[in-house]
Structure 1
Amino acid sequence: MSESYRRLREDLPTPPATGAFAAEPKKVKAWVAALPRANAQATEQALTQALEQLLAQRLEGGQRAAALEELRPAVVDSIALLEGQYANNPLPLPTDKAQAAVAAERFHLLLAHGYRKAAVELCAPAGSVPFLKGSAVLQSLHHAAWHYARALALAWRIYRPAAPGAWQGLHRVHRFAAELRLDRKAVEDRLGGTGMDINTLYVQTLLVAAVNPYAFAQAEQDLLWPLARGYAARCGLASQPPESGAPVVPDDADRGPGPGAGEQSHAHWLDLRAFADDVERALTRVRDGHSELVPGPGQGVRVGNDLLRRLQRAFGQTAARAMVRLPAGHRLDSVLGLSAVHYFLAGQRDFDTFMRQSAQGNVHVIAGAAWTQVASAMTRVPRVAARVLDQSLGGYRMTWASAEQARARVGELVGLGFGDGDESDWMVGVMRWLRYEVDGSLSAGVELLARRATPVALRVVGPDGEARHVGRAVEVFAIDGSSGRRFVANAAIESGCRVEVIHDAMTASPELAGRGPDVLGDVEVLLNAGDYYLIGERSTADLAA
């Protein structure tokens, strides 16, 4: 018995099922036809019970596979109905919607475990493929891998941890298929997509995991999957590290690719170079905020500049994850969003008060401006305590006791305060990834934009001399000490506009009054995050070009 077959057999769950499911193909077909499809909940319960009973039974592999083939279309239909219950809902999901997501994930896992067990039984006792059973073994392994991958995709889409056993099951199915040389044989699967082999499915899932799907919006995740499938042929597994910091693919651990762990064995690394290099080239071709990635011949995919930047950051962080991070445990106050960050940087003054007390003296206030209507609301900005789990020079891995209380989003601006009460100093960062834990807490990675920041306002005057707007902004001072001023603002600024920085009288530098208006040079949008913009002065090199 080979090591890969032994592992394929091990740790298959045995649900506590009452009774036995009649697994003869004709009876299964009749049972499915009699399901109360008009009652979605009753159908879901019946299918769950059937899959659990099947998994608990001892069967011949061919019989199990045939029964699962009859059940699978009905189960996939139920999964689609469950997904419809929580799709497009705000996160974190309320209890009833979260239960629907858990049920859909459970269906994928039951099918994956069932098909994996069918492959074990078909290849019993020694792990070799019986005569004329190769297609049945291949189909069972393929369907198991597909459902393990879909269970992972579902967890990522709602920013929750992967279900126990999903990663390990996928690793084991792939290892056994590779040993039998079945991993590169395509399977026609009308439910899971045609023409995909187990190796492509496996590498596709590894690629999505390697760029950290928790750092991408749901719509971006939908685009990552076809991109990863296209790059799977060019970003395979390597028996030697292709570059420093390349993600390790665990040999048998219940986790995805990442830094190697000393107690875990591994024999492969994930080669990301083709994907990462294409992202760099695509960034040089950005026009009107978009470019194109070309995973393979005739496979051009139009992608936005923001997604390319996030991918570039993700590839850069794969190496950073291998670095030693400093353990922590201290607590920080946190606030979310540009308005809240500005409010606390300004000493808990709303924007209306900030403008009237600006260093420039009297500032013309536009009647009815949006920011003048929210002064009372800003007096109720909550500070939420968070705990730092570990840290590096670039940021923190943090946890909030209540995801409902934090209500964060990927890419959202966050202020981190340290100090006593109203005398806190505030750093400014960005939520790069987040995950809703099963205990109701929130885990997130926060990248620091600045350890020091100043509340300001930006007055924008168009090339025609007409005032465009006055809006809140935060001037951030780069951690690496790089030159050029940067601001987080609530609106984009057209090229050619005159931009005046309005300072706070309480924090403005003494020499400000003597030098006249603080006017920026030509500016550019460095990042459009949706809720805010990162704006910087264009460098002299860019202006010369």
Structure 2
Amino acid sequence: MINPYRSLSANLPERLPAGRDALPADAKRLHAWVDALPRANQQAYLLQLSGALDAFHARQLEGFTRLEVMEVLRTPLLEAITLLTSRLQGSSFPLAGSKAETAAQLIHLHRQLALGYRMALVEACAPAGKVPFLRGSTVAVALVRAVYHHVRWLATSYFLYRSPEPDVWAQLYALAAFASARGLDDKAVEDASERRSLTVALLQNQAVLMALANPYRFSQRELVELWSLCRDVAATVEMTPQRFAAAGVLAMIDTDLPPTFVSRAPDPDEGDMLWIDLRKLEALVRGTLSRSGEGGEAVLRLSRDYRLTVPTSLLERALEGWSQDVTRASPRLEGGYALDTIVGLSGLHYQLAGGQDFDSFMREVRGVSAVSLNRASWAQASADAVHATLASARIQDQSLGGYRLRWEAAQGVRARIGELVGLGLPAEGGPYDWMVGLVRWLRYDEGGMEAGVDLVSRRAHAVGLRSLDEAGGSEAPIRAIGLAPLSGEASGPELFLLPAVNDVDAPRLEVTRSSDRWDGPGAKGSNVYACGALRTLRRTGDYLLAEADRA
């Protein structure tokens, strides 16, 4: 491998002697300065902490002194990071306004924390990269902290659905290689923020597992759970220079690239590599899933004294990413063309209803006003009549199961994992034929947003659902999308996509739906019929995919 110490020493900021008004580098005095900061104004408090971190990066310090400074600043900065992260939880992307500023602050703090600990390590082991006599434990602290914050930096990029910034993976590999060469890769360091001891090797394994799980397909809430899952199963993973299978996962540690699946070994001239053995992990996860039952949660038995409970759906999707024999359900076909899209259930319902808001749709089809009934407050606004805007998406590639598409930034599209997307082209001389999909993964940059959309139906209807009780009473109708099965089977249960916030728990439903050109020449202009109770098939983001038997 390229000399890891040389790699770690590259591109460090210029450092100058401390000025007259510089902050104290003595740990005790710096603690006092931090404690004296006014916390009532969180933004001002954060700016002063961040400014102090940046100032120390530009200042000449001895390595172990810099480590003490970083340890003092780390705890309040991690508290600030937790606050910033909570402000972004549940966001739609791309971010705008104050949320975009918050995201930039969040990335900056992780970047600067990673840099600060790397600088402390380089300076402590200067000039040749040797660990000073009797200082191995202290150097291990700098190493583990540096690796931890590089992994958190990566995880924050996933949380924001951004590609990792340049040099993150390269520095992570260099830190791990340096630790291995100095015999410090398995040296445990206590970390109060994670409430456990961490090692360089386990942290590198955690980063690898998160990358291989395809983090861009998880919601922000799920990414928090994925962090814990990957951290706790990291000990089951081994990274070795020895190839153990014809195909597998490897990390090209002389590059700035994440680990990847390969069908053949790369040329040795491409640099050093580590093969990633996931066989123990796969066996553990498959065994856990086989015992999970139907409760929605799986319990990983990680030791005699420790069990980790995770949602079964999250564990299944993580395993899809970790499986070395993963294959696509359908072959991919080249795209290169555009489709019109609409994001969100309200907008798609408006289009499927022929440009009518929900109240007008229910009055015309059923003769019942949705507004006149006691509807939920979120559904009462005049926003029902908002004319949904179509956005053009460029199809990158496709399969029978869905599309990989890109919206340019000028389209102004905002979405999140699990969001509903309508995709369509105008029918000849008529309205759109809308397909319905759900966002499986997304990633964005300044130029636009790319998403993977799983198809759930190639034909859809505007639908109103009304709960009916045993006594014949009814609730207010709710907006939903009626779906035709992808299989094309017409004799099965009725399929619906509806907001997850609606509690539709009734023995019977009245379904009101519009007809379309596929219903045939003898079809009525509308259909009103009864169904049995809804059965939830899948919850994704803000929506429920459910079925009901037609009465």
| TM-score interval (norm. to shorter) | 0.7 to 0.9
Q: Which amino acid aligns with 2:373?
A: G
Q: Which amino acid aligns with 1:398?
A: L
**Contact 2:345 2:480 survives alignment (8 Å):** yes
Give the CA deviation at 1:100. 4.4
Structure-1 separation of matches of 2:253 and 2:298: 37
Residue 251 and residue 9 in structure 1: after superposition, are their counterparts in 2 closer, same or farther (change >3 A)? closer
TM-score (norm 1): 0.79
Structure-2 separation of matches of 1:190 and 1:244: 41
Aligned to 1:252: 254
Aligned to 1:427: 435
**Which region of structure 1 is more displaced relative to structure 2, 344-353 or 112-121?**
112-121
Superposed CA deviations along residues 417-443 of structure 1, whole A, max 9, x for unmatched, are 234897333221111222342x26333
Aligned to 1:457: 464
Is the counterpart of residue 347 in structure 1 residue 377 in structure 2?
Answer: no
Aligned to 1:543: none
**Contact 1:492 1:525 survives alignment (8 Å):** no
Q: Which amino acid aligns with 1:351?
A: F
Aligned to 1:285: 293
Runs of 5+ consecutive residues of structure 1 not aligned to the other structure? 540-545
Superposed CA deviations along residues 11-68 of structure 1, whole A, max 9, x for unmatched, are 73233556568999965765665567346324422320221345xxxx7xxx313322
Q: Which amino acid aligns with 1:431?
A: V
Aligned to 2:41: none
**Contact 1:390 1:396 survives alignment (8 Å):** yes
Give the CA deviation at 1:406. 1.7
Structure-1 separation of matches of 2:359 and 2:254: 58
Structure-1 separation of matches of 2:98 and 2:194: 27
Q: Which amino acid aligns with 1:44?
A: S
**Contact 1:461 1:469 survives alignment (8 Å):** no
**Contact 1:28 1:70 survives alignment (8 Å):** yes
Aligned to 2:12: 14
Q: Which amino acid aligns with 1:526?
A: L
Residue 131 and residue 326 in structure 1: after superposition, are their counterparts in 2 closer, same or farther (change >3 A)? farther
Alignment of 1:426-445 (within 5 A): 426-437=434-445, 439=446, 441-445=448-452
Aligned to 1:50: 56
Alignment of 1:170-249 (within 5 A): 170-190=172-192, 193-237=195-239, 247-249=249-251
Structure-1 separation of matches of 2:188 and 2:315: 30
Aligned to 2:70: 71
**Contact 1:522 1:538 survives alignment (8 Å):** yes
**Which region of structure 1 is more displaced relative to structure 2, 96-105 or 441-450?**
96-105
Structure-2 separation of matches of 1:217 and 1:388: 23
Residue 403 and residue 315 in structure 1: after superposition, are their counterparts in 2 closer, same or farther (change >3 A)? farther
Q: Which amino acid aligns with 1:37?
A: L
Give the CA deviation at 1:128. 5.7
Aligned to 2:409: 402
**Which region of structure 1 is more displaced relative to structure 2, 479-488 or 326-335?**
479-488
The number of aligned residues is: 521
**Which region of structure 1 is more displaced relative to structure 2, 498-507 or 422-431?**
498-507
Aligned to 2:83: 84
**Contact 1:4 1:175 survives alignment (8 Å):** no
Aligned to 1:542: none
Residue 333 and residue 404 in structure 1: after superposition, are their counterparts in 2 closer, same or farther (change >3 A)? closer
**Contact 1:68 1:111 survives alignment (8 Å):** no
Runs of 5+ consecutive residues of structure 2 not aligned to the other structure? 39-43
Give the CA deviation at 1:145. 0.5
Structure-2 separation of matches of 1:378 and 1:65: 64
Residue 21 and residue 391 in structure 1: after superposition, are their counterparts in 2 closer, same or farther (change >3 A)? farther
Alignment of 1:132-147 (within 5 A): 132-147=134-149
Aligned to 1:498: 508
Structure-1 separation of matches of 2:302 and 2:483: 37
Structure-2 separation of matches of 1:171 and 1:351: 55
Is the counterpart of residue 368 in structure 1 residue 373 in structure 2?
Answer: yes
Give the CA deviation at 1:254. 2.2
Superposed CA deviations along residues 190-239 of structure 1, whole A, max 9, x for unmatched, are 45644111111221222223223333333322222222222112244466
Identity %: 32
Structure-1 separation of matches of 2:253 and 2:25: 40
Structure-2 separation of matches of 1:135 and 1:322: 49
Determine helix, strand or coil for the equivalent of 1:208.
helix
Structure-2 separation of matches of 1:442 and 1:403: 10
Aligned to 1:487: 496
Structure-1 separation of matches of 2:487 and 2:240: 34
Determine helix, strand or coil for the equivalent of 1:105.
helix
**Contact 1:249 1:270 survives alignment (8 Å):** no
Superposed CA deviations along residues 469-519 of structure 1, whole A, max 9, x for unmatched, are 533332333445578443212345437x23454331444345666xx9755
**Contact 1:357 1:504 survives alignment (8 Å):** no
Q: Which amino acid aligns with 2:347?
A: A
Alignment of 1:156-167 (within 5 A): 156-167=158-169
Determine helix, strand or coil for the equivalent of 2:477.
strand
**Contact 2:249 2:324 survives alignment (8 Å):** no
**Contact 2:70 2:117 survives alignment (8 Å):** no
Residue 296 and residue 512 in structure 1: after superposition, are their counterparts in 2 closer, same or farther (change >3 A)? farther
Residue 115 and residue 43 in structure 1: after superposition, are their counterparts in 2 closer, same or farther (change >3 A)? closer
**Contact 2:8 2:174 survives alignment (8 Å):** no
Structure-2 separation of matches of 1:355 and 1:243: 61
Residue 194 and residue 300 in structure 1: after superposition, are their counterparts in 2 closer, same or farther (change >3 A)? closer
Is the counterpart of residue 336 in structure 1 residue 343 in structure 2?
Answer: yes
Structure-2 separation of matches of 1:37 and 1:49: 16
Residue 279 and residue 427 in structure 1: after superposition, are their counterparts in 2 closer, same or farther (change >3 A)? farther
Give the CA deviation at 1:333. 2.1
Residue 142 and residue 218 in structure 1: after superposition, are their counterparts in 2 closer, same or farther (change >3 A)? same
Structure-1 separation of matches of 2:489 and 2:19: 67
Determine helix, strand or coil for the equivalent of 2:228.
helix
**Contact 2:391 2:411 survives alignment (8 Å):** no
**Contact 2:247 2:262 survives alignment (8 Å):** no
Is the counterpart of residue 525 in structure 1 residue 500 in structure 2?
Answer: no
Structure-2 separation of matches of 1:158 and 1:96: 14
Residue 365 and residue 33 in structure 1: after superposition, are their counterparts in 2 closer, same or farther (change >3 A)? closer
